[in-house]
Structure formats: C-alpha cells, structure tokens
Structure 1
Amino acid sequence: MGVRFGLFGTGFWAAETHGAALAAHPGATLAGVWGRDTAKAEELARVLGTRPYADVDALLADVDAVAIALPPDVQGDLALRAARAGRHLLLDKPLALTVEAADAIVTETRDRGLASVVFFTSRFSESVNDFLRRAADDGGWDGVRATLFASIFQPGNPYGASPWRRERGGLWDVGPHVLSVVLPVLGPVEEVTAVRGPRDSVHVLTRHRDGAVGSLSVTLDAAPESGAFSVDLYGEHGWRSVPGGDRSAVEAYGSAVDRLLAQIADGPGDPCDVRFGREVVAVLAAAESSADSGRAVRTAEATGTGPVAWE
C-alpha cells in the first residue's frame, strides 16, 4: 500500500487531473473523496474506485496526505485544517487568497515538519525546469514580458462556470502560472503597480529585488481570436522564450505526487512548496491592492514580512 491520499474536490480539475493521476500512481493509494456536494463525491468515488466521505475529519483521519482541488479560499481553510492534523499537502495554485492565510499554512507546515507541493502545471515538466535553471545560472536579465490571455467563458469550456474564477479573474487564476516561471529567474518582487483594462484584464509591473522589471498581462475573458501565452526574458543574452510544458496535466500531476513522496521519505523542501506558493500569493495580493488603490504597493517580502524559513 502506498501513501494514502484523500482527494478534496469533485469538479472537472479534481476528476480529470488530481483524481486520475492519484488513482494511477504506483506510490499512492486514493483512500477517499470528499466534496461540498455529496452526490458528486459519491459519483467521483465510484468512477475512481474509492470511497466517498461526507465528513472532512473522517477522511483526514484515514489518510497520510491530502490533495485539494477546490477554490483557493476553501483550499486555504482545508489545507490549514489538514496540516494541523499532521497531513502532508498536495495543493493547487493559488495557495490562498490572502498573505495571512498563506502564512498560517506555511507556519503550520514548517512547525510539523510536513511535506508540501503547490501544483503549478508547467513547473512539473523537466523542459521548463531545465530552462529556468539555465536562465537563472546565466543571469544578466533586465526583465520579462509576459502575456496570458485565456478565453474560458466560451460555450463548452469546463472552467467557465467556476464562480471564483469569475469573481477573482485572470490575476488569481492564470497569474500564478506566469509568476511560477518568472520568480525563479528574476527573484523576489519588492514593488508592484497594476491597472485594470478591457475584458477584465489586469496589467502588472513588477520591480524585483535585483533591479529587473516585469510586465505581465493576464485575463480569462480575452476575445477568442486574441488568446496568447508567452513569457519572454530579455537582457544581456537577447530574448529567450520560456518553453511550454512537455507533459500533459495528468503526467505533470504525477510528477507532483513523486515530489511530495520524495519529501515524505527524505524531509520537506521543494522548489514549489508552500513557501513558494506564499511568495506568489504575496505578489498577487500586492497587484490586486495596487489595481484597487491606483498606487504602487510594496510586497510583504519588501516590508520584512516574507515567508518563514525551515529550521
């Protein structure tokens, strides 16, 4: 029997990515499914060949680790609850919707010596990670220009009915994907300026600790003809484009499971652990605050309240 996982969530992403990868992974045992809709939990458990749970604490009691595929505000509460129960965390992006909620998860995870992974899809493809390592080693980057224009509210899109995505928009849904490949190269963000644009877009300028500047534009409601995903570094080496991932979502999630299992065996610490997830949340929160206030906003890292360190 592998590490016992409880799956929290019953939507499309939970079923088609989290659940499918966990059910197929040789080192994991999918012990059960919990969802806010008990009928959906029962149906997904049937499809995945596992057991539905009506009570969160009952599922936590029966597992070693949790996989959460729920809106970030719900995930934040459940992740903290799971960490307090001593369960390892395999979470989705964004980690939470506030820096305070993310800090609580980081602190609890550190204090209990728990393994953690936050799933940024492309960061679990080796082609992307190899590129990021080379780019970080090369240095000399003046900045990045990134655009992620999705169009999820078209008929038939499985994410278009998601209330939290309609409420929080592209900044919180696809913004983490951009930041997940920018921060490892340009380093921590200290100041953010953001404005809102047409079609619920958000346009963000980031000033990084070493002086580089990022220009990031995101939306979930782009005109279908204008969809785009590009992240381009520029500097002493000219322009370099961050590649797309070389794995399907299910394959990438399987790699995330591998990396969580490695930490369970050898001790916590991963490039995409909850500390990194918290760093991403800090930039998103600063961008939202800037867009709302019309002012530049310094991040938590810049004000000396960055993520706690492992001891």
Structure 2
Amino acid sequence: MRIGLLGTGPWAGMAHAPALSEHTSLDFAGIWGRRPEAAKELADRHGTRAYDDVDALLADVDAVAVALPPAVQADLAVRAARAGCHLLLDKPLATTVEQGRAVTEAVQEAGVASVVFFTSRFMTETEAWITEQADAGGWFTGRAQWLGSLFADDSDSPFADSPWRQQKGALWDVGPHALSVLLPVLGDARRVTAAAPGPGDTVHLVLDHAGGASSTVTLSLSAPAAAAGNAVELRGEKGVSVLPDSDEGAVTALLRAADALISAAGTGRPHPCDASFALRVTEILVEAETLLDRAGR
C-alpha cells in the first residue's frame, strides 16, 4: 500500500513518519505539510519525497495518514476520501459534529477504509484488556482519569504551544482516549448527565451508558507532573478490574493501526475504531462541551 503523510508537526515527526517508514507492508511515498520547508526536512530525514501540492500527493497514493489539527484533518480527510484514499486519522476526528459527519459520509460514499488512532486501542495489553472486559459484562460503574501536565508551569512539551489544544483543552485532547476505553466496555453513552470544570483546563464528566452502567471521567492537561498519569477502573458483578499499563510506545501502536487499515482495506470489514466510531466520540464531546459552556466554564 502506497501511503502519504499529511502534516509535519511534532506528532508527525515523533510518531507517524517513523511508523510509516518502518512498516514493511507500506511504501512511504511522500509528505505534504502546510510549511513546505518542514515537509522537505521531514521527507529528507525519512528518505521520501516532499510534495508542494496536496492533490498531487493524493493522486499518487492508496492511503494517507494525517497528523494535523482536527479541523484541518477533517477537511483534508474528506478531500482524500473523495480522491479514493484510505484514511489513517488521528483523534479527535473533528471538533464539530458537522465536520465529523462530513468525513464519515465521504468515507461511505467513496467506499474507502478508515482507522482512527485511539492509542490505547492499538496497544497489545490494553486492547486485550478492553476485549476481555467487554466480553465479561456485568459492570456497575467505571472511573477513568486521563491527567497530563502539558500546561503545567514546568512543562517542556512540544505540544504545549499547539493552538487547538490551548483552545479546546483536555476535553478534546485526552477525552477521546478515555472514551475509546469506556465505550466498548460499558456501551454507548446515552447522555452526558453532568459536566463540571476544575483547575486549569480540567473537566469532570458523568456518563450514562447503554449497558446500564454509569462512569465518571476526569480529564486534564494542567496537572502537576507528579500527579500525571492515566487510570481506568471498573467495578461490577465479577469484582474490580483495572486497565493495565503498557510499555509500548506510540510508534509501535501506530504500526498496529496501519496493520488495521491494511486489513480493513483488503477485507472491506470496518475496524471498530473507524470514522463512524470517532464521530460518535465527537458527538459525546460536543454534548459535554455544551454543558460546560452552560456552567460558565
């Protein structure tokens, strides 16, 4: 599968480009970015071609990976799907329901495959745990915490200056991770029953799930470094189960996401983390954001 990369920022350089270069079933055909000089530098580093024209890249490949802000990603994903390209997208799919729906409709109309990179869903141990807990059933409640220190005073993260993260905060940056774990186990969120702000960009959510359970979600990019970390705990008929840690990095997880895209494209069977699932995540986050805005966040 010939694949191109759209995007040249820190995430493209740290994760996407290395994974596309390393994957033995992909031909990493080229890179396009909004900054041509950055596209050339990244392409040279990985032995591929820099494109000045995104449509020229789309015409030359079978698939694209996207490492761009969600609003930019959504528009280009529609364009790529209409050009017949399979899509390896990042979370969040979009930050409006309208943009997310446009992507899913373009995917369906073009008959292309889509996989959205919810990191935990492509790590071996965490994905196995999610599958096991979904099969077990009988869950009464769940608790998820996704706490980062991106905006902490002592942060040196290359993502701290990201305009869309500064605008949308933890709800949109790490909220998709939490939902990608909870929804396949507890069922779709029938509604967000409460949403409250905390320190910095911290938010607290309460979800009512189709499986009968409820869950609480705490999200932040403003936590002190010593308090940062992720945790998911389920309680139900079989006791307590905790999401295991994983030592797999983003590149390894992206290699597995690329495997999933190749499989979906070859078989025609949608992956569980396709654009439709990502749209549902977007809808839930929009609902939460609306409640937070009403509360005067």
TM range (shorter): over 0.9
Q: Contact 1:6–1:30 at 8 Å: present in 2 too?
A: yes
Q: Contact 1:116–1:268 at 8 Å: present in 2 too?
A: no
Question: Structure 1-normalised TM-score?
Answer: 0.91
Q: CA RMSD of the aligned region, Å?
A: 1.3
- State how 1:138-149 maps to structure 2 within 5 Å: 138-149=136-147
Once the two structures are TM-superposed, the CA of residue 52 in structure 1 deviates from its matched residue by 0.8
**Aligned-partner Cα distance in 1 for 2:224–2:206:** 23
- What is the match of residue 63 of structure 1? 61
**Aligned-partner Cα distance in 2 for 1:212–1:292:** 26
1:202 paired to 2:200: no
- What is the match of residue 156 of structure 1? 156
- What is the match of residue 183 of structure 1? 183
2:71 to 70, 73, 84: 73
Once the two structures are TM-superposed, the CA of residue 14 in structure 1 deviates from its matched residue by 0.4
1:41-61 deviation per Cα after TM superposition (whole angstroms, max 9, x unaligned): 110111011111111111111
- What is the match of residue 171 of structure 2? 171
Once the two structures are TM-superposed, the CA of residue 111 in structure 1 deviates from its matched residue by 2.0
**Aligned-partner Cα distance in 2 for 1:136–1:251:** 24
Q: Contact 2:149–2:155 at 8 Å: present in 1 too?
A: no
Percent of matched pairs sharing the same residue = 48
**Aligned-partner Cα distance in 2 for 1:288–1:212:** 22
- What is the match of residue 258 of structure 1? 259
**Aligned-partner Cα distance in 2 for 1:127–1:155:** 29
**Aligned-partner Cα distance in 2 for 1:208–1:122:** 20
Q: Contact 2:3–2:26 at 8 Å: present in 1 too?
A: yes
**Aligned-partner Cα distance in 2 for 1:121–1:9:** 18
Letter of the aligned partner of 2:114 in structure 1?
A: S
Question: Structure 2-normalised TM-score?
Answer: 0.95
What SS is found at the alignment partner of 2:45? helix
1:293 paired to 2:294: yes
Once the two structures are TM-superposed, the CA of residue 181 in structure 1 deviates from its matched residue by 0.6
Q: Contact 1:113–1:268 at 8 Å: present in 2 too?
A: no
**Aligned-partner Cα distance in 2 for 1:131–1:36:** 39
**Aligned-partner Cα distance in 1 for 2:133–2:288:** 25
What SS is found at the alignment partner of 1:250? helix
Letter of the aligned partner of 1:68 in structure 2?
A: V
Once the two structures are TM-superposed, the CA of residue 18 in structure 1 deviates from its matched residue by 0.6
- What is the match of residue 242 of structure 2? 241
- State how 1:1-311 maps to structure 2 within 5 Å: 3-153=1-151, 154-192=154-192, 193-294=194-295
What SS is found at the alignment partner of 2:200? helix
Once the two structures are TM-superposed, the CA of residue 246 in structure 1 deviates from its matched residue by 4.4
**Aligned-partner Cα distance in 2 for 1:261–1:145:** 33
Once the two structures are TM-superposed, the CA of residue 38 in structure 1 deviates from its matched residue by 1.0
Letter of the aligned partner of 1:225 in structure 2?
A: A
Equivalent pairs counted in the alignment come to 293
What SS is found at the alignment partner of 1:200? coil
- Structure 2 stretches of 5 or more lacking a match? none
**Aligned-partner Cα distance in 2 for 1:251–1:228:** 20
Once the two structures are TM-superposed, the CA of residue 126 in structure 1 deviates from its matched residue by 2.2
Return 155-164 or 210-219, whichever deviates more.
155-164
Return 56-65 or 236-245, whichever deviates more.
236-245
Letter of the aligned partner of 2:81 in structure 1?
A: A
**Aligned-partner Cα distance in 2 for 1:80–1:232:** 36
Return 195-204 or 153-162, whichever deviates more.
153-162
**Aligned-partner Cα distance in 1 for 2:205–2:163:** 23
**Aligned-partner Cα distance in 1 for 2:161–2:295:** 30
**Aligned-partner Cα distance in 2 for 1:103–1:73:** 12
1:191-229 deviation per Cα after TM superposition (whole angstroms, max 9, x unaligned): 112111112101101111232111001011112222131
Once the two structures are TM-superposed, the CA of residue 244 in structure 1 deviates from its matched residue by 2.7
Q: Contact 1:5–1:64 at 8 Å: present in 2 too?
A: yes
What SS is found at the alignment partner of 1:97? coil
**Aligned-partner Cα distance in 2 for 1:259–1:210:** 27
